[in-house]
Structure 1
């Protein structure tokens, strides 16, 4: 394998490797996994693989998850089709980590480009370890103790009929997670709030709140500040897609943003999301 680091903070392009073969070779897969933990998102060009090989490679990391809104390929459960061609609306053009609304958000994902516009449709990934490390120390002292809710009802459910949105909320009630989680394999501290986050659940304490102004806008302003950290360019890598490209990312230590700047051109992606652990 040849490895080209893309930015100082995050991302590497890997060449001279075929992910179909990696899925059948434990030694090659171990090398890819080590690189993923180091660089957080890996990019592979010109990957002529089948959907079955796509799924097989993703399953090397763990079991695949389904999605309550996006449909899966009927012959390859867990392979979600993210096809945009006739609708300018997108749920992906926010900084987020996949499945934060789950009790056990995704461990990671393998995303393959089937078709993309000649220009536009890039995806940005963010190193959320650095987003935490470079917080001011007084902010760290506050957020290290906080927990926050995250939900799907106000995001994917926003365009649904009221009864369908309510059912989505009942089927997938908000999940509570630490605002700063620990990576289960590296031990790193990670800022763990994003577009799915709605509010802190333990902010209103005598330590943080003196008056109502501290409690109501104060908590919301702090959450918005933390969410905005993903937009810092020094923490990011931006990838311009070509058909046959594959991105693999660690969803625990990153967030991503799919740029919605290509309508009415088509953009067709297929993603296999990997079941994660319960954050702590």
Structure 2
């Protein structure tokens, strides 16, 4: 099958003009915005342009005490682009694209979470998301985001050379689908066949390169070549060990920012250059979130 090759845009990202106060939270990733009501950005082009520029710079933005409605949540997220549903979690029937993520006494947090980039099992993973906290436990329930541009930048040069041009498969069947009966798992795989993406992604707006493998990645599809493989041992388990090493880079604390949730707090993240992890340390307390995920493009 012929692969569609896309080239990076030469357009520079929007400039930050300083109309929003942004407090950096780490040296590489994350900023908290102060004095901003996201509902105002629905109809204020200048404010929204500033927020988008800050998102490209900091990769994830945080705000507290946001009181917008579900309809306003959807309307703000739609300023970035159309929204998408999740095939397993579904969405609010009155507000399409808004997914409710609830954990509490009746549903113990379980095995399903890992450091990941949303929806890389899709041909076009999400561009990003807007997540609002509805209810949070008294302690615990933080979320961690990871700067995958920094993770790629700090790889050893010989590893960068080794992975140049590599592509990997990403699977919903092997992750969300693993708990399903075999017939339902196969139906899910038929609806969402494994997607193939570059191991090193180029950001379509900034041109930055990032490491683009995560918990949804199952294997490389073009590793087994004479240039990379001398004997079968180089491929099996050599390729799996390399993939495991690359996936493990998201666990490096120097690439991370950790956010403590409070009711009304919001996170906006760029899914093209980050991974995240919702820490499951609060059961049987309740944690309820609402997320609007924005349609993305095909990684290149």
**TM norm structure 1:** 0.98
Q: Which residue of 1 aligns with 2:30?
A: 11
Q: What's the CA shift for 1:170? A: 1.0
Q: How does 1:5-154 map to 2 (within 5 A)?
A: 5-85=24-104, 86-90=106-110, 93-154=113-174
Q: Is this contact kept in 2: 1:6–1:237, CA < 8 A?
A: yes
- Determine the structure 1 residue equivalent to 2:232: 212
Instruction: Say if 1:91 and 1:155, in contact at 8 Å, map to a contact too.
Output: no
Check 1:91–1:45 CA distance in 2 against 1; reply closer, same or farther (3 A cut): farther
Tell me the distance in 2 between the aligned counterparts of 1:160 and 1:15: 43
4+ residue runs over 6 A deviation: none
Deviates more, 1:153-162 or 1:49-58: 153-162
Unaligned runs of 5+ in 1: none
Distance in 2, Cα, partners of 1:140 & 1:29? 36
Distance change (3 Å), C-alpha of 1:82 and 1:91:
farther
RMSD of equivalent CA atoms: 0.9
Taking the aligned partners of 1:279 and 1:255, their CA distance within structure 2 comes to: 15
3-state SS, counterpart of residue 179 of structure 2: coil
Deviating more after overlay: 84-93 vs 203-212: 84-93
Does structure 1 retain, via aligned residues, the 8 Å contact 2:173–2:189? yes
Aligned residues: 280
Give distance in 1, aligned partners of 2:76 and 2:235. 47
Q: CA deviation at 1:89?
A: 3.5
Gap change, CA 1:188 and 1:52, over 3 Å in 2: same
SS in 2 for 1:279: coil
Q: Secondary structure at the match of 1:157?
A: helix
* Secondary structure of the corresponding residue to residue 178 of structure 2: coil
1:115·1:269 contact (CA, 8 Å) conserved in 2? yes
**Are the equivalent residues in 2 in contact too, given 1:95–1:255 (CA < 8 A)?**
yes
Q: How far apart are 1:90 and its partner, in Å?
A: 4.0
Structure 2 length-normalised TM: 0.92
Q: 1:279 Cα deviation (Å)?
A: 0.5
For 1:43 and 1:191, how far apart are their aligned partners in 2?
Answer: 23
Measure, in 2, the Cα distance between the counterparts of 1:91 and 1:19: 33
Q: Report deviation, 1:93.
A: 2.6
Distance 1:147 1:133 in 2: 18
Output the CA distance in 2 between the equivalents of 1:135 and 1:221.
Answer: 16
Conserved 8 A contact 2:109-2:283: no
Secondary structure in structure 2 of the residue aligned to 1:68: coil
User: For 2:56 and 2:235, how far apart are their aligned partners in 1?
Assistant: 38
Gaps of 5+ in 2: 1-19
